[in-house]
Amino acid sequence: MSSDTTASLLFELGTEELPAGTLEHMATALCKGISDGLKAHGLAFEKASWFATPRRLSAVVMGVTRAAADSSEQVLGPPAAAAKDKADHWTGAATGFARKHGITPEDLILIDTDKGPRLGLQRTVLGAKLTEVAGQVLSDAVAAIPVAKRMRWGRGRHEFLRPVQWLVALLDENVIPLELFGLTADRLTYGHRFHAPDAIALRRADDYQAELRNAWVIADFKERRQLIREQVMAIAAADNAVAVISDPLLNEVTGLVEWPVALKGSFDNEFLAVPAQALISSMREHQKYFHLLNSDQQLLPAFIAVSNIDSSRPATVVQGNEKVIRPRLSDAAFFFENDKKTTLASRQARLNGVVFQHQLGTLADKTQRISALARWLAETLDADSTVAERGAELAKCDLVSEMVLEFPDLQGIAGAHYANHDGEQQGVVEAIEQHYWPKFSGDALPQSKEAAAVALADRFDTMVGIFGIGQHPSGSKDPFALRRASVAIIRLLIAVDSPVGLAAIGKQAVTQFAEGVLASDVTASVCEYTLDRLRAWYEDQGISVGVLRAVLATGNDNPADIDRRVRALNEFAQSASAQALAAANKRVANILAKSADDLSGDTQAASLVEPEEILLFERLSETKASLPPLLAEKDYRGALTVLAQLQAPVDAFFDKVMVNCDEADLRRNRHRLLTDLRNQFVSIADIAQM
């Protein structure tokens, strides 16, 4: 949209086919770079839109101000006191400053500043002209596009992710003077490689989307993605099936096509004897197909492919896709049948040849460690330790199977199938597959305590091992996914309501390693790192960090117990008495921190003088009797409800009683009374931290 005062800006970087996974990130970065560049020059605009297809990254900025407003600025010179000498002549400082700015000293003005009056001048700064700065803005934006790995092409020394073939840069109908990658910007773009391969001369920047659509290119990435979703869902619905459309796959397919046409294909029923996950992996990872499920969530022998051409013979395109997928499925079927010829347990010996980490040994070493730890955990969790130990012994065996070597995402899944085929107990089968759960944020947790024990053992072994050799995660580097592992540990311990905390499990995990391999402080490091993950975890649930801080201040390291206390305290924090009691506890903490008295003894009832301190003592005696049964049952909500009854006597105490009185015995007794108060609250959480 343009006018006498505004213009539309178009920039397109035409390339050879770009990797599908990078399109959205690169295009949004390009658009942001252009937007930020215009803003930096004071050039406002109405709307900036990004576009991306396999062969182009582009942006259209509508309603860009043709010229930024002029501005006025003050330029400060030397202090007024240094402007003239005793003879009232201009000093060198004044004449030099004036000469630098092309004026005489008489043209300088006095400007008041925080440091006193100074000589200076007021001048007008002309606003930037869009036509003059557009080329540099575009050049800077292209240079800022994040490119992981650059390449060169031809005889030049230009570098980009893929060879650049054309540039379009328009302000309304005018070409912006711009040279990049050895090319000069023009108004020529190109449509679909097969349907409309000829050059297209764009008349105006505003014509961009419409002209490309006429040339079989849907430039808008988001529009193309939605179109693919709708086409896939419509085909599935016509067959009373459900298409599984994951966002990563949908984004990747969107990045592979310019004119999407969804088509349904099929494969032989006999392949359904292979684990569904292997077939899905073949279709999704290798061919970028969407798989279909029936109403019972069972895999159907069908898929939906998205073609980049609108063929007059779609059946031929479908046959081509079916022909391509058949060998992949045949490979999966072959690997599955071949793996079943030997038992899963027989593969244990091969784990000796696979290094887990060179300082921590092989997968066989890791298996031995997690088997012992899983047994201990199962006993602690009152689970079947034999099942947990056997599950851990077999958990990593499928990593040396042909199926997993070909389809790495089937680890655990393949092992569960093979264990089931070998006649292992169902609990063992489940532990093998589910010990990898949760695989990502929000993923399902293991469905049995035995599987959870193996999952915890595997993660604790990795955590103490990697931390113990000093390879903590740093910045974006986390090769062993310890951040994800620590959050999984938190979720697992809460889910199984673990009676033991992080330190106890960590110490047990350390005992499985040879002496001297791990640093002596590894358990503390693992505990601290894992507990640090709680902050973001609770913030995502809308729970204040102050509530978590109050609970952690008690020294608790058991996520299951921490979670109970946090949720009880978060609920309590909404009550009318919470803030008053939190403030009172903070006051108590400050008083006791400064006390020089011996506070080790009990409060002496006979030494209490004021009615308010006597009342507080009586209420504390009552709550002291009520709390232990509630704490034993971990009923922290009930315990906080009991403590909430102390608000009135606590307020009265601080209103009427001089705590730090001059009489030593009386002061000491009152400090002991406050110690009783603080100890009762700290048995749940240090609410002074709220």
Per residue in 632-686, pLDDT (tens digit) is 999 999 999 999 999 999 999 999 989 888 888 888 888 999 999 999 999 999 9
Q: Could you say which of 165, 182, 214 is where a domain stops?
A: 214
pLDDT at 223 over 90: yes
Are 389 and 262 members of one domain? no
- Judge whether 558 lies within some domain: no
- Domain with 141, as residue range(s), is 6-68+130-214
Q: Could you say which of 214, 230, 256 is where a domain stops?
A: 214
Residue 504: the pLDDT is 97
Of 35-44, 433-442, 542-551, 663-672, minimum mean pLDDT range: 663-672
User: What band does 520 get if pLDDT is binned at 50, 70 and 90?
Assistant: very high
Mind listing the pLDDT tens digit for each residue in 159-192?
Answer: 999 999 999 999 999 999 999 999 999 999 999 9
Domain count, the chain: 5
- Judge whether 152 lies within some domain: yes
- Judge whether 345 lies within some domain: no
598 vs 473, which has greater pLDDT?
Answer: 473
Mind listing the pLDDT tens digit for each residue in 559-598?
Answer: 999 999 999 999 999 988 888 888 888 888 888 888 877 7
Peptide bond into 314 cis (omega under 30): no
Under 8 Å between Cβ of 18 and 55? yes
Are 14 and 80 members of one domain? no
Say how far apart CA 526 and CA 473 lie, in whole Å. 11
- Judge whether 283 lies within some domain: yes
Say how far apart CA 297 and CA 416 lie, in whole Å. 19
- Judge whether 243 lies within some domain: yes
- Judge whether 1 lies within some domain: no
Q: What is the mean pLDDT of residues 521-548?
A: 95
Q: What's 427's domain CATH number?
A: 1.10.3210
Are 25 and 141 members of one domain? yes
Are 520 and 395 members of one domain? yes
**Buried-exposed string 561-591: b where 16+ CB fall within 10 A, e elsewhere:** bbbbbbbbbbebbeeebbebbbbbbeebbeb
Are 141 and 264 members of one domain? no
Residue 1: the pLDDT is 58
- Judge whether 40 lies within some domain: yes
What SS3 state is found at 441?
coil
Are 64 and 75 members of one domain? no
Neighbours of 103 (CB within 10 A): 13
Q: Could you say which of 310, 339, 368 is where a domain stops?
A: 339
| Helices 449-468 + 482-495 axis angle, to 10 | 150
Dmax (CA) for the chain in angstroms is: 109
Phi-psi sector, 401: left (phi>0), alpha (psi -120 to 50), beta: beta
pTM as predicted: 0.78
pLDDT at 358 over 90: yes
Q: Which residue spans within 172-270 are E strands per DSSP?
A: 174-175, 179-180, 183-184, 188-190, 199-201, 242-243, 261-266
Residue 243: the pLDDT is 97
Say how far apart CA 216 and CA 189 lie, in whole Å. 13
Mind listing the pLDDT tens digit for each residue in 188-213?
Answer: 999 999 999 999 999 999 999 999 99
Residue 689: the pLDDT is 86
Residue 2: the pLDDT is 65
- Judge whether 63 lies within some domain: yes
pLDDT at 237 over 90: yes
Residue 595: the pLDDT is 81
What SS3 state is found at 676?
helix
| Helices 502-510 + 449-468 axis angle, to 10 | 70
Q: What is the mean pLDDT of residues 390-398?
A: 98
